[in-house]
Structure 1
């Protein structure tokens, strides 16, 4: 793996200084119709560079969009898939994806971006779980990650019969707490608005039960265990699928949304070398750690050491550009998109929440330390004068007669959704990062071609198949994955030439960054020949020559 950037990539490092603002004056997060308008405008404004495709429709009739960005033979250029909205409640990730497309195309008249799009393709999936994300705009707000497919998560043969209930009529679903000495929760010692699990080993005792806001509508003793919808798309992918877990679906890849993404990436395109997704996991602020035991299994559960090294390099670049090195790391959850993209798709897979709670300083202007993300968030929101918390309010609850019941908590969505005024600068830094990653792509070239006279009408042809990129032509995992195209090397001879030794066709599993493979052939006669080497995910190179 080469760690020195090629000149073209160095030039692109300054891209953030002059990429234009979004073509649309966006002032708030986009619902599905607004998102579609933005995508259609990009296709209309940049007809030679952008093509919008509907992969399928959800049960609620919303399109699953992919925007292809590039120039020329886009399917033969190394590509990055940029994916938002796998976690339906992470609308910010969806906004980062669409704004990336707008910023990239908005600067397509610059020479740097023209050169980039002539050699690199981008597949932008701005919102792959649109039915769930649309809940952000509903009159009753709750953090919904599930699509609209009917489910029976409590397995009582009735679907969606125990939904959330708005107990305090504020149109927000938060929490309710019940004061009870048998409860396992206690008021947080550092932030009285929050609760924490009591730790008896530290002498702590619980004072409350805590539930999501609602009633036991089906009388089974549980609250909101079978809400409206649905299957969580970010639990429905094929790697480490969580069988029988609520929200995962009856089977892996059982959902329209999941299959639409899988079918496109597996069947329609083969040139993706890396996937960048926006969601709750994070291997960009801090890289995945190598786990020797994980790669020693028959079915591996850890990243190969070589791929961890790539992750470390890319993470370093990410932190330099975005300044988000302090965002919490998270290696993923069962059945999620991020892990599927590495373990089953075989590509370099990078994911980020795209935002971290900003630093909070005390009265002496020193950074405050927090042991709890929610406490950190509330302190920052207080400093920033943001309305993010529903104060605890006592209510009558039919399931707890005679008990003190209070409704309150952090409002839906706000913990992972920055105020929209922050989005443009955050999207800019992530656009710069993705462009930087594109400059690191594998780039197969044929160099050092020689033809030696071997006597008696014989000639020796020699060439180096060189990877001019920073990244290998395939991940270490991709080398053992049939979905990742290997480097193909082909020799074509005219009628006057005959091959005596060497392979007319050869396959190389991977060539490291700044690495090369030497190929040699012995031929008899006179005539022309053509050598072609490469793959869709590493580019192609061709040389032609004549032996006279």
Structure 2
């Protein structure tokens, strides 16, 4: 049964109100500010704002549909933010894309439709603005993560009362952590093969309320959106849920997408990355019954789009090797939905080399070096605390502050958003585009006319991803000729074409009896519809 969606269209006056709020913004938006800005975009007239559902915490999950004319039959791009609650940058990039699209790039709507899901983790996102800040992933569902019959008894605890959840280190000859050689503030695992010996045990800042010797294993948060999808669903792991798509926000998004036949590509702002570095093809994994490698032709497309990304986005990735995690949305969009799917964190901590020209020993050391160079307050000094669960032991609390490694200072976001807007618009420009060429009509006598024309995909991209074609989920290109069946002496009144590659054509031919006009249409929702009018 189709769901009833809340539709929200706001007047132009709200747009002016939003612009004044936006000018004053100096930090990542609160949920209320985000909603006001979305309402401002909807006031443009080319956008419709809907709430797909409400989360366990009562927060709206919004979608903006932006376009002109027959939006459902124009190639669509879906832009997704907030797949991880701690990645607040992703929400701002999606928001600014929507604002720039309606205010500065109206021409892009002539050819494409855009679906923007700015924040898929609003419950977790809210922790950024809470009095106790920590990098939260899960929603507000009540979950017994350690399956001991009690809920959230081993969540984070602010042991040093600074309003931040960092780490705690415990001096122990049995510990497997040691201070990094190039920055003693950072704890790294000792490498026994190099003769190293640990001297600390490291845990998240928390208590052991159930006395099982573990810390922070039953968090006061529920299910993470980016672990709850169907591709490689990580069953029996924390934050994943009892079964795939178990949460309202996951179900509502997928229900909505399965009705949007015109989406041909996704751009997800998330920790995963296949844009600065494309995925690689693995022939063995691609031939398995359950495919776990991007297919060969789609890898070639990924490489082409990656080149487009790297020529548009000035910052180059450093130490970025996350190309997807089990249960995430980015991989679902490709492997289970058959669309081209691209993901980027949007920002990486730049590489900082020491005076000797060597790179840092770990991402954390590199980050702190960058933070020091850029006057970013990013570290809580290690401070000894009395821990009630670790009596007579030396316990210190400290470490890198939450959010700062994944989200740049807000002053840098405008430039990052502009480059990513430019990239998405470039991707839209190469969306599949069907055209008719080389029309010929030939009189055959006895009132018969042969019609011949080439159907051409005038794009660098094929009409279907290889995965979409293999899964048979994407609709085929359909060619219709609007004549009575008895008037078509040769050729199909309805013809289905599996796929047209980049700059590929197919020749169509009919023999038609009679005079007058003939209209021929060809396309699918995700390719757009080409129309040819023929006078017999």
Q: Which runs of 4+ in 1 moved over 4 A?
A: none
Per-residue deviation, residues 88-123 of structure 1 (Å, max 9, x unmatched) = 11111111000111112221xxxxx33321111110
Question: Structure 2 residue aligned with 1:323, among 300, 314, 324?
Answer: 314
Provide the residue aligned with 1:283 in structure 2: 274
Partner of residue 135 from structure 2, selected from 114, 134, 143: 143
- Counterpart Cα distance in 1 of 2:388 and 2:475: 61
2:183 maps to 1:184? no
- Higher alpha-carbon deviation: 244-253 or 538-547: 538-547
SS at match of 2:488: strand
Determine the C-alpha separation between the residues in 1 that align with 2:153 and 2:327: 26
From 422, 427, 435, the equivalent of 2:425 is 435
Which segment drifts farther, 354-363 or 290-299?
354-363
Residue 525 of structure 1: aligned partner? 514
- 1:389 equivalenced with 2:389 (yes/no): no
Decide which of 397, 401, 413 is 1:407's aligned counterpart.
Answer: 397
Q: CA deviation at 1:23?
A: 8.8
Deviation per residue, 1:143-168 (Å, 9 max, x gap): 10000111111111222121111111
Structure 2 residue corresponding to 1:97, chosen from 80, 94, 97: 94
How is 1:261-280 mapped onto 2 (pairs within 5 angstroms)? 261-267=253-259, 269-280=260-271
2:61 aligns with one of 64, 68, 75: 64
* TM-score, L = length of structure 2: 0.93
Contact 1:444/1:468, CA 8 A, preserved across alignment: yes
Residue 312, structure 1, aligned to residue 303, structure 2: yes
Q: Is 1:237 aligned with 2:229?
A: yes
3-state SS in 2 of match to 1:71: coil
Root-mean-square deviation (Å): 1.6
Aligned with 2:116: secondary structure?
strand
Aligned to 2:230, what secondary structure does the other structure show? coil
Per the alignment, in what secondary structure is the counterpart of residue 466 of structure 2? coil
SS state at 1:493 partner: coil
1:466 is displaced (CA, Å) by: 0.7
Q: Within 5 Å, which residues of 2 pair with 1:509-524? A: 509-524=498-513
* Structure possessing the higher relative contact order (Cα contacts under 8 Å, 6 or more residues apart): 1
Aligned mates of 1:449, 1:494 — CA distance in 2:
21
Alignment of 1:74-223 (within 5 A): 74-107=71-104, 113-223=105-215
- CA-CA distance at 1:371 after TM superposition: 3.3
1:354 to 327, 343, 346: 346
In structure 2, distance between residues paired with 1:80 and 1:367: 42
Q: Distance between the aligned counterparts of 1:42 and 1:23, measured in 2?
A: 13
Question: Match of 1:538?
Answer: 527
Cα offsets for 1:497-537 (capped at 9, x unmatched): 62222221121121112111111122333343221100111
Alignment correspondent of 2:414: 424
* Alpha carbons 2:352, 2:360 under 8 Å: kept: no
In the alignment, is the contact (CA less than 8 A) between 1:78 and 1:272 conserved in 2?
Answer: yes
> Does residue 1:303 correspond to 2:294, yes or no?
yes
Q: 2-side partners of 1:525 and 1:514: how far apart?
A: 34
Runs of 5+ consecutive residues of structure 2 not aligned to the other structure: 1-18
Q: Is the 8 A contact 1:266 1:483 kept in 2?
A: no
SS in 2 for 1:194: strand
Residue by residue over 1:232-256, the C-alpha shift from the partner in whole angstroms, topping out at 9 and shown as x without a partner, is 1100011110111111001100000
Instruction: Give the Cα separation in 2 of the matches to 1:512 and 1:22.
Output: 47
The answer as to whether partners of 2:337 and 2:473 remain within 8 angstroms in 1 is yes
Shift of 1:454: 2.9
Partners in 1 of 2:86 and 2:416 — Cα distance?
19
Which runs of 5 or more residues in structure 1 are unaligned? 1-20, 108-112
CA contact (8 A) 2:223 2:240 kept: yes
CA-CA distance at 1:367 after TM superposition: 6.0
